[in-house]
Structure 1
């Protein structure tokens, strides 16, 4: 897994370099927003870690521009008190956020969770598990290998990695209600230490992409959580 971390605070990158080295993670550090975005365009990375406050080009702009051309997973770094920035970052297509000051181990855990989701299943794994990693409902076809979603055989707008993971999980468990905490643990793949609104933002984005005049598909069960249901 190759990472690009765009962070102007050199003390933060120096601290993280030690942890990345210990975990044998290949990472490129850039301290300027515009330079970081240009590196992203020229080179191949598997994950972006972007601070929101950057010189030359801020993290929000980078996130928006990246999402125009790629569905690469994005983790944003934001100040703890900047809740509006966290929500806006998720709204622009970030998959997760880590608040400053943060624990290096918490960031490593998020990176590992993404790494597990990106790892393709081998043919032997598919045979042993007895699944082709595809699901079909009355309205949707969703393929976990190609990460494509069809609605009535028509491709949907591209989903971000986290949107896809969330949608796939909910379709796997039709009409079953999951709390925000359960979704964070089952879909994000680790205990979430931040704000649960990340689930709300991803559900909101998904609804914009999949809901029709006839069907909402993703339902809010007030005081409990969310479910996928085609029968409404």
Structure 2
């Protein structure tokens, strides 16, 4: 078999013990029992397989060349990327502009709401200030009245303290008549005021006599 194969020149005169026996053993088809290809056929088939592989590679190279020519005929991907970027940038610009418009409208709405709130707050503050002013005026009036009443009460208390001595200074009254006159004058603030307004003791005497003896005729 070695002498018959054209690529086995380097194996001439090289002994292979049991070559025939190994060929019989390993060349048999175990499934059907028939002999398979021998060594010469196996080497030829291997060479043929290499040629088929080379042809496949050539076909693949041709397909790659065709793909490259088709891709060269198609538009440049860089241009399409630029167009996409321009479209994307345009879309982003529109979105940003819409966001700016939304923010502007929102700010305008918030500003108008704040203005309305502040105007309403100013109105409420004016009402509160007016109420405070009115309250202060009322308090001032009340305080003035209280001061006047306090002063009047103080004057009345001062007059009551010296009333008995003042009545005793009027001649012609007994101590009983002086006590009765003082009692009536203390119980009536108007009578006490008139008593102290009399110009002299004669006027005061007639006023007391008329107060404690209303049935007596006035003196000349």
TM-score norm. by structure 1 comes to 0.18
Please say which structure displays the higher CA radius of gyration.
2
Query: Greater relative contact order (Cα 8 A, min sep 6): structure 1 or 2?
Result: 1
Q: Which has the higher strand share?
A: 1
More helix by share: 2
TM-score of the two chains, using structure 2 as the length reference: 0.19
